[in-house]
Amino acid sequence: MTDVERTSTPLVDEAMKKAAVAWVSVPGGPALALWCAPLEGALFVVSGPGEQSAPGLADATEAQVTLRGDHGGRIVTWPARVSRLAPGTEHWETAAPLVAAKRLNASGSTAELVERWAAEGCAVNRLTPAGEPVAGAGLPADSLAEVPRETPAVRVTRKPFRLHRVRRR
């Protein structure tokens, strides 16, 4: 447990235990689907060079976290207190290796991954429940879908591929 006071509910605790992806939004930003690792009654999110992009999260002090249930639907949204772990601290030394061990498809060992996070300035953030969650009938009924954001990753649509030429008689 951390030295920061924590507030939570059984629903949030259970949803966090099963979470692999969380929708996280910082004030003024869109909700982003981010890989996360549950640990010590909180969610840990890593972002930065060579990791996922989470604009604004590294410097944020609060965020909104939405988790899904076993069948893919939104089950709870809760306010979170965001704290960034600093390399070399006791919290970093205990939590970063545990988070790195849960990181799938990482190149190198757990120790190498933790060293890379520290050397490249990656942010390892702890998202701790910090308020009353919204669940059940309190959740929005609509999809909350948005127009896709602009991105430089755009491909030109090409004509369909044809395996052979069709001859007319």
Reported as a single tens digit per residue, the pLDDT across 27-60 is 988 899 999 999 989 999 999 999 999 999 999 9
Q: Which pLDDT value is given to residue 165?
A: 72
- Mapped onto helix, strand or coil, the DSSP state of residue 113 is helix
Report the C-alpha gap between 81 and 22 in whole angstroms. 15
Q: Which residue has the higher pLDDT, 3 or 132?
A: 132
Q: Which secondary-structure segment (H or E) carries 47?
A: strand 42-47
Per the CB < 8 A criterion, the answer to whether 41 and 6 are in contact is: yes
Taking alpha carbons only, the member of 68, 78, 75, 74 closest to residue 42 is 78
CA dihedral 102, 106, 107, 112 (to 10 degrees): -50
Taking alpha carbons only, the member of 42, 43, 158 closest to residue 34 is 43
Q: What number of other Cβ atoms are within 10 A of residue 39's Cβ?
A: 16
Q: Which pLDDT value is given to residue 6?
A: 53
Q: How confident is the model at residue 2 (pLDDT cuts 50, 70, 90)?
A: very low
AA identity, residue 62: E
Alpha-carbon radius of gyration of the chain? 20
- Rounded mean pLDDT of the chain? 87
Residue 1 has pLDDT above 50, yes or no: no
Residue 111 has pLDDT above 50, yes or no: yes
